[in-house]
Structure formats: structure tokens, C-alpha cells
Amino acid sequence: MLRKILTEPDPILRKKCEPLEKVDIDTKNLMDDMLETMYAAPGIGLAAVQVGILKRLIVIDISKGEEQKKPLFLINPKIINQSKKTSVYEEGCLSIPGLFAEIERPAECILKYIDYHGKEKELKAEGLLATCIQHEVDHLNGVLFIDYLSKLKKDMIIKKLVKQKKGIERVIV
């Protein structure tokens, strides 16, 4: 089932998400819905909070169009190490449609998480995957990529988004 993706500024996107206690059928249903919603968007990652569920749950798939799909389900992810070396990617977010900005983050990270089957796993990520994981883990803590921009830029962006939501297309003075 497709779920509705919340967009900024929505106060839910700023809440801290709670860990899951168990991986049950409801969790799996939600993760399946999240993956379907992410593919349909289309996007390469989605956190549960983006569909209004305040749980520490992420789906990711960075495979390209032609390639075999490679979905990753990350439950209660915990970044246990981040490299000193950084990298810059142009990021977008399904909760801030149409906005893209270059963001600098640690180039590599090591992650502990629980997988779709409830098993504890560890993953070392680099490149786009590392960036995507960090972008998604930020969502679980109420952080959006625009938070890394200057206050001036961020304020401008939020003002525009508020106007868009109110349906104001032009402001004439």
C-alpha cells in the first residue's frame, strides 16, 4: 500500500523516533509499504517518520534503473563509526520536493542494525550508500539536510515552502 509522504514544514518531521522492540508482521507490512512508496516516488531511501510513523526504521535501495533491485531494511540503526575523510553529494529529500543542495558528510560509516528477519547485522558503507544512510539516520533524529545550510538559506527555503503549502504562487507588493 502506498503511503503519503509528509513534507517540510511538518512538525512530525522534527520529532525523535523510538526504537522498535520487535520485528513482527506489522513491522514487515510497514517496511513493505515504505519500500513500495520509495520506489514509486522515486527515491533511494525513506525513513518511517516520512510517512508519519515515529519508529527507527529505514528502507534504502541505491540500485540504478536497469540493475537488479537491492532493497536494504534497517531497523534501529546505530552508526558506530564515521570516517574523518568527508565527501560531498548533491542531496535531495522526498520531504522537501524540488530542492537539491551539496552537503558534506563523513565519506564512510559503520552501522549496526537489525534486518528484515530480526537478525543483528553490521555494515560498512561508502560513497552514495554512506551518504544515504546518514541522511536517513538524521531523519530518525528529526534532522533534515537543509539544517546543514546557512541559517539565511534555510530560512529562505522554509519561507518558500510555507508559501507553497498555502498555495500562494506569487507575492506582489
- The three cell numbers locating residue 15: 520529532
Site for Ni ion in 91-150 (CB under 5 A): 93
Stretch that binds ligand GNR, among 46-54, 63-71, 80-88, 109-117 (CB under 6 A): 46-54
Say if CB 125 and CB 109 are below 8 A apart. yes
Name residue 72's amino acid.
L
Residue 55 lies near ligand GNR (rule: CB under 6 A): no
The option from Ni ion, ligand GNR, none interacting with 44 (CB < 5 to 8 A, set by class) reads ligand GNR
Residues near 115 by Cβ (< 8 Å), separated by ≥ 6?
Answer: 73, 74, 75, 121
Q: Which residue is nearest to ligand GNR (CB)?
A: 43
Range 55-94, binding Ni ion (CB under 5 A): 93
Residue pair 24/113 in contact (Cβ under 8 Å)? The answer is no
Report the nearest approach of ligand GNR to the CB of residue 44 (Å). 4
